[in-house]
Amino acid sequence: NLDIRVSIPSNDEIGSLGKAINDLALETNRYRSNRREFFANISHELRTPISYLKGYAEVLKQDLYQTEEERQQYLKIIDDETERMIRLINDLFELSKMEEGKIDLQMNAIDLTDVIETALFKVRIDLKKEGLTLKSQLDRNVPYIEGDGIRLEQIFTNLLRNAVRYTEKGSVSVKIWSALNKVHVIIEDTGIGIPVEDLPLIFERFHRVEKSRSRELGGTGLGLAIVKNLVELQNGTISVNSQVGKGTRFQLSFPAAE
Ligand code: ADP
Protein backbone atom coordinates (compact mmCIF):
# COMPACT_ATOMS: atom_id res chain seq x y z
CA ASN A 1 0.00 0.00 0.00
CA LEU A 2 0.92 3.59 -0.61
CA ASP A 3 1.83 4.86 2.82
CA ILE A 4 1.55 8.60 2.46
CA ARG A 5 -0.14 10.84 4.95
CA VAL A 6 0.77 14.51 4.90
CA SER A 7 -0.46 16.72 7.64
CA ILE A 8 -0.53 20.40 6.76
CA PRO A 9 -3.20 22.01 8.86
CA SER A 10 -3.28 25.31 6.97
CA ASN A 11 -6.08 26.71 4.86
CA ASP A 12 -3.99 28.01 1.99
CA GLU A 13 -2.85 26.41 -1.28
CA ILE A 14 -0.29 24.24 0.51
CA GLY A 15 -3.03 22.93 2.80
CA SER A 16 -5.23 21.98 -0.16
CA LEU A 17 -2.27 20.39 -1.90
CA GLY A 18 -1.69 18.25 1.21
CA LYS A 19 -5.34 17.22 1.20
CA ALA A 20 -5.19 16.36 -2.50
CA ILE A 21 -2.16 14.14 -1.89
CA ASN A 22 -3.95 12.32 0.92
CA ASP A 23 -7.05 11.78 -1.21
CA LEU A 24 -4.92 10.47 -4.05
CA ALA A 25 -3.13 8.00 -1.77
CA LEU A 26 -6.46 6.79 -0.40
CA GLU A 27 -7.88 6.36 -3.89
CA THR A 28 -4.77 4.51 -5.11
CA ASN A 29 -4.97 2.11 -2.19
CA ARG A 30 -8.64 1.49 -2.79
CA TYR A 31 -7.94 0.80 -6.47
CA ARG A 32 -5.11 -1.60 -5.64
CA SER A 33 -7.15 -3.53 -3.14
CA ASN A 34 -10.06 -3.80 -5.64
CA ARG A 35 -7.68 -5.10 -8.26
CA ARG A 36 -6.22 -7.65 -5.84
CA GLU A 37 -9.66 -8.85 -4.85
CA PHE A 38 -10.74 -9.04 -8.49
CA PHE A 39 -7.82 -11.27 -9.49
CA ALA A 40 -8.24 -13.43 -6.39
CA ASN A 41 -11.89 -13.92 -7.39
CA ILE A 42 -11.05 -14.86 -10.96
CA SER A 43 -8.43 -17.37 -9.88
CA HIS A 44 -10.85 -18.92 -7.45
CA GLU A 45 -13.68 -19.08 -9.99
CA LEU A 46 -11.42 -20.76 -12.55
CA ARG A 47 -9.70 -23.08 -10.14
CA THR A 48 -12.95 -24.74 -9.07
CA PRO A 49 -14.09 -25.96 -12.51
CA ILE A 50 -10.54 -26.86 -13.50
CA SER A 51 -10.13 -29.08 -10.47
CA TYR A 52 -13.37 -30.85 -11.39
CA LEU A 53 -12.14 -31.36 -14.93
CA LYS A 54 -8.84 -32.73 -13.74
CA GLY A 55 -10.41 -35.00 -11.14
CA TYR A 56 -13.05 -36.54 -13.38
CA ALA A 57 -10.73 -36.87 -16.36
CA GLU A 58 -8.45 -38.84 -14.05
CA VAL A 59 -11.30 -41.09 -12.96
CA LEU A 60 -12.17 -41.82 -16.59
CA LYS A 61 -8.56 -42.29 -17.60
CA GLN A 62 -7.99 -44.90 -14.93
CA ASP A 63 -11.36 -46.60 -15.46
CA LEU A 64 -12.30 -45.89 -11.85
CA TYR A 65 -16.04 -46.28 -12.37
CA GLN A 66 -18.41 -49.17 -11.86
CA THR A 67 -21.18 -48.72 -14.39
CA GLU A 68 -21.81 -47.11 -17.74
CA GLU A 69 -24.27 -44.80 -16.02
CA GLU A 70 -21.57 -43.60 -13.69
CA ARG A 71 -19.26 -42.98 -16.65
CA GLN A 72 -21.98 -40.87 -18.31
CA GLN A 73 -22.37 -38.87 -15.09
CA TYR A 74 -18.68 -38.03 -15.02
CA LEU A 75 -18.74 -37.00 -18.64
CA LYS A 76 -21.71 -34.75 -17.95
CA ILE A 77 -19.86 -33.04 -15.10
CA ILE A 78 -16.90 -32.42 -17.39
CA ASP A 79 -19.23 -31.02 -20.02
CA ASP A 80 -21.11 -28.75 -17.54
CA GLU A 81 -17.95 -27.42 -15.97
CA THR A 82 -16.41 -26.65 -19.36
CA GLU A 83 -19.61 -24.87 -20.31
CA ARG A 84 -19.48 -22.76 -17.17
CA MET A 85 -15.84 -21.81 -17.70
CA ILE A 86 -16.69 -20.62 -21.20
CA ARG A 87 -19.55 -18.57 -19.78
CA LEU A 88 -17.31 -17.09 -17.13
CA ILE A 89 -14.63 -16.11 -19.63
CA ASN A 90 -17.18 -14.60 -22.02
CA ASP A 91 -18.75 -12.61 -19.18
CA LEU A 92 -15.38 -11.37 -17.99
CA PHE A 93 -14.41 -10.30 -21.47
CA GLU A 94 -17.68 -8.47 -21.91
CA LEU A 95 -17.38 -6.68 -18.56
CA SER A 96 -13.84 -5.55 -19.24
CA LYS A 97 -14.88 -4.16 -22.62
CA MET A 98 -17.72 -2.26 -20.99
CA GLU A 99 -15.58 -0.86 -18.23
CA GLU A 100 -13.06 0.43 -20.73
CA GLY A 101 -15.86 1.99 -22.76
CA LYS A 102 -14.96 -0.27 -25.68
CA ILE A 103 -18.38 -1.63 -26.38
CA ASP A 104 -20.31 -0.42 -29.38
CA LEU A 105 -24.00 0.00 -28.83
CA GLN A 106 -26.22 0.23 -31.89
CA MET A 107 -28.60 2.91 -30.68
CA ASN A 108 -32.05 2.96 -32.25
CA ALA A 109 -35.59 3.93 -31.35
CA ILE A 110 -36.82 0.84 -29.51
CA ASP A 111 -40.22 -0.34 -28.37
CA LEU A 112 -39.35 -1.82 -24.98
CA THR A 113 -42.60 -3.80 -24.79
CA ASP A 114 -41.50 -5.75 -27.89
CA VAL A 115 -38.13 -6.43 -26.30
CA ILE A 116 -39.76 -7.72 -23.14
CA GLU A 117 -42.07 -9.98 -25.09
CA THR A 118 -39.08 -11.53 -26.86
CA ALA A 119 -37.26 -11.98 -23.54
CA LEU A 120 -40.36 -13.59 -22.04
CA PHE A 121 -40.62 -15.93 -24.98
CA LYS A 122 -37.05 -17.05 -24.38
CA VAL A 123 -37.48 -17.84 -20.69
CA ARG A 124 -40.95 -19.37 -21.05
CA ILE A 125 -39.51 -22.89 -21.19
CA ASP A 126 -37.60 -22.37 -17.94
CA LEU A 127 -40.73 -21.02 -16.26
CA LYS A 128 -42.69 -24.08 -17.31
CA LYS A 129 -39.97 -26.45 -16.20
CA GLU A 130 -39.93 -24.89 -12.75
CA GLY A 131 -43.74 -24.87 -12.51
CA LEU A 132 -43.86 -21.12 -11.93
CA THR A 133 -46.69 -18.85 -13.01
CA LEU A 134 -45.97 -15.92 -15.27
CA LYS A 135 -47.92 -12.72 -14.70
CA SER A 136 -47.50 -9.91 -17.16
CA GLN A 137 -48.96 -6.46 -17.49
CA LEU A 138 -47.61 -5.00 -20.68
CA ASP A 139 -48.61 -1.56 -21.91
CA ARG A 140 -48.40 -1.77 -25.70
CA ASN A 141 -48.31 1.97 -26.19
CA VAL A 142 -45.22 3.03 -24.32
CA PRO A 143 -43.07 5.66 -26.06
CA TYR A 144 -39.89 4.56 -27.80
CA ILE A 145 -36.63 4.67 -25.91
CA GLU A 146 -33.14 5.20 -27.28
CA GLY A 147 -31.24 1.92 -26.97
CA ASP A 148 -29.63 -1.17 -28.45
CA GLY A 149 -32.29 -3.82 -29.03
CA ILE A 150 -29.96 -6.79 -28.55
CA ARG A 151 -28.42 -5.37 -25.37
CA LEU A 152 -31.83 -4.52 -23.95
CA GLU A 153 -32.98 -8.06 -24.59
CA GLN A 154 -29.85 -9.31 -22.83
CA ILE A 155 -30.74 -7.20 -19.76
CA PHE A 156 -34.25 -8.59 -19.52
CA THR A 157 -33.46 -12.24 -20.24
CA ASN A 158 -30.79 -12.03 -17.57
CA LEU A 159 -33.13 -10.57 -14.94
CA LEU A 160 -35.87 -13.03 -15.86
CA ARG A 161 -33.48 -16.00 -15.72
CA ASN A 162 -32.36 -14.88 -12.26
CA ALA A 163 -35.99 -14.55 -11.17
CA VAL A 164 -36.63 -18.15 -12.28
CA ARG A 165 -33.34 -19.39 -10.88
CA TYR A 166 -33.92 -18.00 -7.39
CA THR A 167 -37.62 -18.83 -7.09
CA GLU A 168 -38.83 -22.20 -5.90
CA LYS A 169 -42.56 -21.66 -6.06
CA GLY A 170 -45.05 -18.96 -6.92
CA SER A 171 -44.69 -16.51 -9.74
CA VAL A 172 -42.59 -14.18 -11.80
CA SER A 173 -44.31 -10.91 -12.74
CA VAL A 174 -43.38 -8.39 -15.35
CA LYS A 175 -44.90 -4.96 -15.74
CA ILE A 176 -44.12 -2.17 -18.20
CA TRP A 177 -45.70 1.26 -18.31
CA SER A 178 -44.78 4.87 -18.96
CA ALA A 179 -45.04 8.00 -16.86
CA LEU A 180 -43.42 11.42 -16.87
CA ASN A 181 -41.38 10.89 -20.05
CA LYS A 182 -39.93 7.64 -18.83
CA VAL A 183 -40.56 4.00 -19.49
CA HIS A 184 -40.60 1.86 -16.34
CA VAL A 185 -40.27 -1.89 -15.96
CA ILE A 186 -40.69 -4.07 -12.90
CA ILE A 187 -39.56 -7.68 -12.71
CA GLU A 188 -40.71 -9.30 -9.54
CA ASP A 189 -40.53 -12.81 -8.14
CA THR A 190 -41.78 -14.70 -5.10
CA GLY A 191 -38.42 -16.35 -4.53
CA ILE A 192 -35.82 -16.71 -1.82
CA GLY A 193 -35.10 -12.98 -1.60
CA ILE A 194 -31.85 -11.17 -0.80
CA PRO A 195 -30.72 -10.27 2.74
CA VAL A 196 -30.68 -6.53 3.37
CA GLU A 197 -26.90 -6.47 3.96
CA ASP A 198 -26.28 -7.98 0.51
CA LEU A 199 -28.60 -5.62 -1.36
CA PRO A 200 -26.10 -2.80 -1.91
CA LEU A 201 -23.53 -5.32 -3.18
CA ILE A 202 -25.36 -7.53 -5.65
CA PHE A 203 -24.44 -5.38 -8.66
CA GLU A 204 -20.74 -5.84 -7.83
CA ARG A 205 -18.67 -8.36 -9.77
CA PHE A 206 -18.68 -11.83 -8.16
CA HIS A 207 -20.90 -10.89 -5.24
CA ARG A 208 -23.26 -13.74 -4.47
CA VAL A 209 -25.50 -14.23 -1.49
CA GLU A 210 -24.91 -17.95 -1.33
CA LYS A 211 -21.91 -19.00 -3.35
CA SER A 212 -22.75 -22.67 -3.45
CA ARG A 213 -26.36 -22.17 -4.41
CA SER A 214 -25.54 -19.78 -7.23
CA ARG A 215 -22.85 -22.17 -8.42
CA GLU A 216 -25.19 -25.15 -8.36
CA LEU A 217 -27.64 -23.18 -10.47
CA GLY A 218 -24.99 -22.35 -13.04
CA GLY A 219 -24.38 -18.70 -12.10
CA THR A 220 -21.09 -16.87 -12.59
CA GLY A 221 -21.74 -13.94 -10.23
CA LEU A 222 -21.17 -11.49 -13.09
CA GLY A 223 -24.69 -11.27 -14.54
CA LEU A 224 -25.93 -8.30 -12.53
CA ALA A 225 -22.68 -6.37 -12.93
CA ILE A 226 -23.13 -6.68 -16.71
CA VAL A 227 -26.81 -5.76 -16.46
CA LYS A 228 -26.08 -2.60 -14.47
CA ASN A 229 -23.36 -1.51 -16.89
CA LEU A 230 -25.65 -2.06 -19.87
CA VAL A 231 -28.54 -0.19 -18.24
CA GLU A 232 -26.35 2.81 -17.48
CA LEU A 233 -24.78 2.84 -20.95
CA GLN A 234 -28.34 3.31 -22.23
CA ASN A 235 -29.08 6.16 -19.80
CA GLY A 236 -31.29 4.01 -17.63
CA THR A 237 -31.41 3.29 -13.91
CA ILE A 238 -31.87 0.04 -12.03
CA SER A 239 -32.77 -0.52 -8.39
CA VAL A 240 -33.68 -3.50 -6.26
CA ASN A 241 -35.93 -4.24 -3.31
CA SER A 242 -36.14 -7.56 -1.60
CA GLN A 243 -37.30 -9.45 1.43
CA VAL A 244 -35.83 -12.79 2.45
CA GLY A 245 -38.35 -15.57 1.95
CA LYS A 246 -40.82 -13.24 0.20
CA GLY A 247 -39.23 -12.24 -3.06
CA THR A 248 -37.30 -9.70 -5.06
CA ARG A 249 -38.23 -6.78 -7.24
CA PHE A 250 -36.04 -5.05 -9.79
CA GLN A 251 -37.20 -1.73 -11.17
CA LEU A 252 -35.71 -0.16 -14.29
CA SER A 253 -36.40 3.20 -15.90
CA PHE A 254 -35.32 4.59 -19.27
CA PRO A 255 -35.89 8.08 -20.62
CA ALA A 256 -38.37 8.24 -23.51
CA ALA A 257 -36.76 9.16 -26.84
CA GLU A 258 -37.24 12.79 -27.92
P1 ADP B 1 -25.29 -15.26 -10.45
O2 ADP B 1 -24.64 -15.69 -11.71
O3 ADP B 1 -24.64 -15.80 -9.22
O4 ADP B 1 -26.77 -15.40 -10.45
P5 ADP B 1 -25.74 -12.39 -10.65
O6 ADP B 1 -24.76 -11.28 -10.81
O7 ADP B 1 -26.77 -12.57 -11.72
O8 ADP B 1 -24.90 -13.70 -10.41
O9 ADP B 1 -26.49 -12.17 -9.27
C10 ADP B 1 -25.71 -11.92 -8.09
C11 ADP B 1 -26.36 -12.55 -6.86
O12 ADP B 1 -27.57 -11.83 -6.56
C13 ADP B 1 -26.78 -14.00 -7.06
O14 ADP B 1 -25.74 -14.88 -6.75
C15 ADP B 1 -27.92 -14.13 -6.07
O16 ADP B 1 -27.41 -14.39 -4.78
C17 ADP B 1 -28.56 -12.73 -6.06
N18 ADP B 1 -29.78 -12.62 -6.90
C19 ADP B 1 -29.86 -12.13 -8.15
N20 ADP B 1 -31.13 -12.12 -8.60
C21 ADP B 1 -31.89 -12.64 -7.61
C22 ADP B 1 -33.29 -12.90 -7.42
N23 ADP B 1 -34.19 -12.64 -8.39
N24 ADP B 1 -33.69 -13.44 -6.23
C25 ADP B 1 -32.79 -13.70 -5.26
N26 ADP B 1 -31.47 -13.48 -5.36
C27 ADP B 1 -31.01 -12.95 -6.51
DSSP string, 226-252: HHHHHHHHTT-EEEEEEETTTEEEEEE
Measured in angstroms, how far is the CA atom of residue 2 from the centroid of ligand 1? Answer: 35
CB 142 within 8 A of CB 178: yes
Measured in angstroms, how far is the CA atom of residue 118 from the centroid of ligand 1? Answer: 22
Judge whether residue 150 has pLDDT over 80. yes
Predicted model pTM: 0.85
Q: What residue owns the CA closest to ligand 1's atom 14?
A: 208
Q: What is the mean pLDDT of the chain?
A: 91
Ligand 1 atom at shortest distance from the alpha carbon of 203? 6
Q: What residue owns the CA closest to ligand 1's atom 4?
A: 219
User: What pLDDT, on a 0 to 100 scale, did the predictor assign at position 252?
Assistant: 98
Judge whether residue 102 has pLDDT over 90. no
User: What pLDDT, on a 0 to 100 scale, did the predictor assign at position 174?
Assistant: 97
Share of the chain above pLDDT 70, in %: 97
Judge whether residue 148 has pLDDT over 80. yes
119-140 pLDDT, tens digit per residue, is 999 998 888 888 899 999 999 9
Q: What residue owns the CA closest to ligand 1's atom 19?
A: 162
Whole-angstrom CA distances from 30 to 33, 37, 258 are 5, 11, 40
- Residues with a CB atom less than 6 Å from ligand 1: 162-163, 166, 189, 191-194, 202, 207-210, 214, 219-225, 248
CB 250 within 8 A of CB 240: yes
Q: Give the range with max mean pLDDT: 95-109, 149-163, 204-218.
A: 149-163
Q: What is the mean pLDDT of residues 174-180?
A: 96
CA distance 42 to 85: 11
35-67 pLDDT, tens digit per residue, is 888 888 888 888 888 998 999 999 899 888 889
DSSP string, 135-178: EEEE-TTPPPEEE-HHHHHHHHHHHHHHHHHT-SSSEEEEEEEE
55: alpha, beta or left? (left if phi > 0; alpha if psi -120 to 50):
alpha
Query: Which of 54, 60, 63 lies closest to 74 in space, CA to CA?
Result: 60
Q: For 11, list phi and psi in degrees, rounded to 5.
A: -100, 15
User: What pLDDT, on a 0 to 100 scale, did the predictor assign at position 63?
Assistant: 87
Choose which residue among 92, 123, 166 to substitute to test ligand 1 binding: the one with the highest number of ligand atoms within 8 A of its C-beta: 166
Q: What residue owns the CA closest to ligand 1's atom 16?
A: 209
Poorest-pLDDT segment among 158-162, 163-167, 208-212: 208-212
Ligand 1 atom at shortest distance from the alpha carbon of 208? 14
Judge whether residue 146 has pLDDT over 80. yes
User: What pLDDT, on a 0 to 100 scale, did the predictor assign at position 207?
Assistant: 85
194-248 pLDDT, tens digit per residue, is 999 999 999 998 888 877 667 666 778 899 999 999 999 999 999 999 999 999 9
